[in-house]
Copies of this chain bind each other. A is one copy, B any other.
Amino acid sequence: MDSKSQTITPIAVAQTPYRDKFGIPRQPNLVSKAIGKIWLNAPYNQAEALAGLEAASHIWLIWGFHKAPPGQTRLSSRPPRLGGNEKLGVFATRSTHRPNGLGLSVVELIEVNLEPTPHLVVGGIDLLDGTPVYDIKPYLPYVDRVNSASHDWAEEAPQKLTVVATPQFVASFLALKSEVEMSLIEEVVSFDPRPAYHRDQPERVYHVRLCDLDVGFRVDDNSRQATLTNVIHSTEGDH
């Protein structure tokens, strides 16, 4: 181990609706209906460690890309936002394949709960279920909300898809789950989870796994419209 290396140990673990990397919004705080829980590990699973956190409406999570295959750090990547055509340095993107595999997400703090064991309920989460969390910090508006900040190609949120569901899909869905999960699915698909190099295949059906559901959809790039095609109950492991 390099003398300047350090070991970090999860202080919490994330429980989220995302069972697959496919479908996770590429940034946090976009899919507001994605509700997750952050369960504190010992010795931080005590009221004392969270006292006063409720003063913040939002929090930062520093976490680990635990499902990114080790040894796959690259010096550059091709962000989906640029259509997968342009190569950018790893430090110029939020790519998952990065040195030290650390992720950074701002999420809404909905509730601080001490029972059954200390945990946070958060909104807009973009973490895979089971993700290790290494730190929690309050979002400080006077520091973190940089009004003068700009970015040449990520100033605004990506354009969303219109999501439609056939009456048949809606009936199948509501036989399994409520309208809350239906809204979550629609929001997730609206951010177009397809890889950039898969565009131009309007007949192709993609599958997104959320909670214990597997939802199929396809996308017509001309009309910028996604159609939900089918839903099944699924309890399989990651595929």
Contact = CB atoms under 8 A, between A and B. Distances in A.
Contacts of A153: 55
A50 interface: yes
A9 B53 contact: no
A135 B104 CA distance: 10
Given A29-B143, A104-B60, A143-B29, A5 B1 contact: no
Count of identical protomers in the assembly: 2
Contacts of A5: 7-10
Contacts of A216: none
Contacts of A218: none
Interface residues of A, number: 75
Nearest to A76: B48
A88 B51 contact: yes
A139 interface: yes
B57 A92 contact: no
A143 B52 contact: no
Contact of A134 (B10, B60, B100): B100
A57 B148 contact: yes
Interface stretch (A154-162, A172-180, A193-201): A154-162
A197 to B, nearest CB: 19
A49 interface: yes
A91 B144 contact: no
A92 B53 contact: yes
Contacts of A9: 2, 4-5, 99-100
Contact of A143 (B55, B75, B106, B141): B106
A55 B151 contact: yes
A90 B49 contact: yes
A203 to B, nearest CB: 32
Contact of A137 (B11, B29, B91, B106): B91
Interface of A: 1-2, 4-11, 27-30, 43-44, 46-53, 55-60, 62, 64, 75-76, 86-94, 98-102, 104, 106, 132, 134-157
Those 8 A-B pairs whose CB atoms lie nearest each other, nearest first: A55-B152, A52-B88, A52-B92, A53-B92, A51-B89, A91-B136, A8-B100, A27-B143
18 contacts: A6-B101, A7-B7, A43-B75, A48-B76, A49-B90, A50-B92, A51-B76, A55-B151, A55-B154, A57-B149, A62-B62, A91-B135, A92-B138, A100-B134, A106-B143, A138-B151, A141-B146, A143-B154
